[in-house]
């Protein structure tokens, strides 16, 4: 029986993969769950990444009646305490079909009670902190949605109601961004009347996107602080007081929770790494990066204290209402989805505030691999116009860098009018992007005037250092560094930055890494998460054209062994041509 069961599972799993493939749009802007794994210098697997969704116009295999019905049908113990929901084989096919509606396992979600329990995932010390409710600004919780499922939306709402101190909850504001589902209208209106916390619903007749929807909610809010949530979150105990306390201390602090993961298939609640901060890569995609050594040491001294983050993920944060409007709310030139998280992060930092992550506040978010809704105007056009606005208003020279390597954004740029936002920047007397990079994110991997930026070419092979990309890189154990034919175009995968301290790095905060001590004189060179440690330091000798590992004096070399052809190694410096490198600068502005 067990054997048959396993066979059934395998068959269904295979089918599900096929279903997924079929539903991937052939749109040229397909954005994947852009998650990559690296093994860092300690041998710990590090996942950097964030996805930007891919929209589909139609929902394959899904019955329109199913879409339009609220099928919430709780089973008392399903998903209890954050455990995964197991779908029996007989229901698997149905669950896969309706997966397409919201791009998560709706069948599983509909079985989990709206008030399911969740574990207390905080560090023990957190439990004794944040008790001074009277001094914290009361919160208006703002949840915007477009075509959200009933069960995820109201599990968000109930997690707020059940796990927030009553004294701190002013109200809940739901903003419906032109949803097309009937159950989100009258049934919802009736339902929220009965909730124990004042809850209202605002509706937009036309699709306005999340920035405008959040602005709509903010303008109506009565609380001294605004707390934004996506419509598929679950808050855990202690989440709200630890978000509000830093605002009471300094009203210009914008506070994000640690974002835990709700699995899109099983709805299991998974605690995520606290040792991350939010930033972005050369394409302005938001990414989580591991903290460097110095940062880690600082954190260890007080692990409950909110720590700085260069950028926020976007969906989940608390801010003083007064301060939110003072610094210009959101950029209302932004459409539908994307980019607003970087815009508000840059603006807050550059204009005198700060963005922090409160380690005692844990909120689960349902991460999806693709986006279920349409992007009127096209997904690429929407996202790139939003990002173009960010670059034009806030990034100065690094905006030019972004446009240089990003054709779509460069096209979108022409259509943007950002005068109002530039005026705002002047009015608030904000700092430059250089200031931001130097002071808020000194570990950044962008080019500067004092760094080399360009190709690193091997003299013997006439090949260039290349960043492992795509799937191949994750199959390659430990991200081995490689060289490849130098392309004549400006390809970012061939671009490297070498800092004054000899760190050779590239996009997504990955660095050229080799062991400090070597037993024998042949060692593979890897691409790993930048750690700021000595094993990632190199010296370029202009005269001999050698790239020497700073700690052991070995030279960067190209392997000629059959099993590791064209892979990079360090070996005894002998003056051979495979150890000679040309640093070919590339104009980045
Ligand atoms: C992330 C953020 C999200 C937002 C986005 C970039 C987290 C956990 N989530 O993507 O909040 O910052 O990056 O823009 O950090 N929505 C509307 N109208 C629309 C589109 C979306 O109301 O036209 C709602 C949607 O129903 C959801 C929220 O906006 O409640 C965020 O959208 P998402 O969940 O698709 O974004 P996500 O989590 O992929
Ligand atoms: Mn979301």
Nearest CA to ligand 1 atom 32: 230
- The rounded Å distance from CA 408 to ligand 1 centre is 22
Inform me whether the pLDDT recorded for 80 exceeds 90: yes
531-570 per-position pLDDT tens digit = 888 999 999 999 999 999 998 899 999 988 877 777 899 9
Residue 462's pLDDT is what?
87
Residue 317's pLDDT is what?
98
Number of H helices, E strands in the chain: 17, 27
Ligand 1 atom closest to the Cα of residue 373 is 20
Mutation choice for ligand 1 from 149, 175, 260, 314, CB with most ligand atoms inside 8 A: 314
Residues at CB less than 6 angstroms from ligand 1: 53, 144-146, 148, 177, 207, 209-210, 213, 230-231, 259, 313-316, 336-338, 340-341, 365, 371
Inform me whether the pLDDT recorded for 170 exceeds 70: yes
Give CA separation, 214 vs 109, 324, 331, in Å: 25, 12, 11
Residue 532's pLDDT is what?
85
> How does residue 378 score in pLDDT terms, banded at 50, 70 and 90?
confident
- The rounded Å distance from CA 398 to ligand 2 centre is 28
Inform me whether the pLDDT recorded for 31 exceeds 50: no
* Higher pLDDT, residue 567 or 267: 267
With beta carbons less than 8 A apart as the criterion, state whether 530 and 514 touch.
no
With beta carbons less than 8 A apart as the criterion, state whether 171 and 200 touch.
yes
ipTM over 0.90: yes
Inform me whether the pLDDT recorded for 35 exceeds 70: no
With beta carbons less than 8 A apart as the criterion, state whether 556 and 508 touch.
no
> How does residue 512 score in pLDDT terms, banded at 50, 70 and 90?
very high
To 10 degrees, what angle do helices 150-163 and 239-249 make?
60
Residue 519's pLDDT is what?
59
Ligand 1 atom closest to the Cα of residue 207 is 23
Q: Find the range with the poorest average confidence among 50-59, 401-410, 450-459.
A: 50-59
Residue 18's pLDDT is what?
37
Inform me whether the pLDDT recorded for 55 exceeds 50: no
Q: In whole angstroms, give the CA distance from residue 58 to residue 62.
A: 9
Ligand 1 atom closest to the Cα of residue 286 is 13
User: Domain map of the chain by residue range?
Assistant: 29-111, 379-440, 452-585
Residues lining ion ligand 2 (Cβ < 5 A) are 230
Nearest CA to ligand 1 atom 25: 145
Residue 144's pLDDT is what?
98
Ligand number nearest CA of 345 is: 1
Question: Average pLDDT for residues 367-388, to the nearest whole number?
Answer: 90
Ligand 1 atom closest to the Cα of residue 143 is 30
- For the domain with range 452-585, which CATH number is right: 3.40.50.150, 2.80.10.50, 1.20.272.10, 3.40.190.10? 2.80.10.50
312-336 per-position pLDDT tens digit = 999 999 999 999 999 999 999 999 9
Q: In whole angstroms, give the CA distance from residue 555 to residue 522.
A: 10
Question: Average pLDDT for residues 30-41, to the nearest whole number?
Answer: 41
Q: For the domain covering 379-440, report its CATH number.
A: 1.10.8.460
Buried/exposed 491-522: b ≥16 CB within 10 Å, e otherwise: bbbbbbbbbeebbbbbbbbbbbbbbeebeeee
284-318 per-position pLDDT tens digit = 999 998 887 778 888 889 999 999 999 999 999 99
Ligand 1 atom closest to the Cα of residue 315 is 11
Distance of CA 259 to the CA centre of its chain: 10
> How does residue 191 score in pLDDT terms, banded at 50, 70 and 90?
very high
- The rounded Å distance from CA 148 to ligand 1 centre is 11
């Amino acid at each position: 029986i067990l054997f048959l069961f396993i066979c059934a599972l395998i068959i269904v799993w295979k089918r599900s993969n096929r279903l997924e493939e079929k539903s991937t749009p052939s749109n040229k802007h397909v954005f994947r769950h852009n998650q990559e794994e690296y093994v860092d210098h300690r041998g710990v697997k590090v996942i950097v990444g964030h996805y930007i969704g891919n929209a589909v116009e139609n929902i394959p295999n899904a019955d329109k009646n199913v879409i339009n019905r609220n099928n919430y049908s709780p089973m008392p113990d399903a998903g209890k305490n954050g455990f995964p929901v197991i779908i029996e084989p007989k229901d698997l096919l149905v669950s896969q079909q309706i997966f397409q509606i919201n791009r998560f396992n709706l069948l599983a979600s509909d079985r989990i009670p709206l008030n399911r329990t969740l574990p207390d995932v905080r560090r023990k010390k957190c439990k004794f902190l944040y008790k001074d409710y009277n001094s914290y600004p009361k919160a208006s919780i703002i949840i915007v949605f477009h075509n959200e499922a009933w069960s995820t939306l109201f599990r968000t709402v109930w997690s707020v109601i059940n796990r927030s101190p009553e004294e701190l909850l002013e109200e809940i504001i739901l903003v419906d961004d032109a949803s097309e589902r009937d159950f989100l209208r009258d049934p919802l209106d009736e339902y929220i009347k009965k909730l124990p916390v004042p809850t209202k619903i605002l509706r937009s007749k036309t699709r306005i996107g999340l920035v405008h929807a959040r602005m709509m909610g903010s303008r109506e809010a009565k609380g001294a602080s605004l707390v934004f949530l996506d419509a598929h979150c679950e808050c855990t105990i202690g989440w709200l007081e630890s978000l509000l306390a830093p605002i009471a201390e300094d009203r210009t602090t914008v506070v994000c929770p640690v974002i835990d993961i709700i699995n899109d298939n099983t709805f299991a609640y998974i605690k995520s790494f606290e040792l991350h901060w939010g930033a972005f890569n050369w394409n302005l995609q938001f990414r989580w990066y591991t903290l460097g050594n110095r940062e880690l040491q600082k954190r260890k001294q007080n692990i409950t204290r909110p720590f700085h983050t260069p950028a926020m993920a976007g969906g989940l944060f608390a801010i003083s209402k007064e301060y939110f409007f003072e610094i210009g709310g959101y950029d209302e030139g932004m459409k539908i989805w994307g980019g607003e998280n970087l815009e508000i992060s840059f603006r807050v930092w550059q204009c005198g505030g700060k963005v922090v992550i409160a380690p005692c506040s844990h909120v689960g978010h349902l991460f999806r691999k693709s986006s279920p809704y349409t992007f009127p105007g096209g997904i690429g056009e929407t996202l790139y116009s939003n990002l173009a606005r960010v670059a034009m208003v806030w990034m100065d020279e690094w905006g030019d860098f972004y446009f240089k390597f990003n054709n779509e954004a460069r096209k979108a740029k022409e259509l943007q009018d950002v005068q109002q936002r530039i005026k705002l920047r002047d009015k608030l007397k904000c700092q430059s992007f250089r200031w931001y990079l130097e002071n808020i994110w000194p570990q950044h991997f962008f080019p500067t005037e004092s760094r080399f930026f360009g190709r690193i070419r091997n003299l013997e092979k006439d090949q260039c250092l290349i960043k492992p990309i795509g799937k191949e890189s994750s199959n390659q154990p430990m991200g081995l560094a490689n060289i490849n034919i130098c392309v004549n175009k400006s390809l970012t995968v061939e671009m490297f930055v070498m800092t004054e301290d000899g760190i050779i790095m590239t996009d997504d905060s990955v660095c050229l890494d080799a062991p400090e001590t070597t037993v024998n004189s042949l060692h593979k060179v890897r691409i790993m998460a930048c750690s700021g440690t000595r094993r990632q330091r190199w010296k370029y000798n202009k005269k001999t054209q050698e790239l020497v590992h700073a700690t052991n004096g070995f030279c960067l070399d190209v392997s000629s062994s059959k099993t590791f052809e064209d892979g990079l190694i360090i070996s005894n410096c002998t003056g051979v041509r495979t150890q000679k490198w040309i640093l070919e600068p590339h104009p980045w502005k």
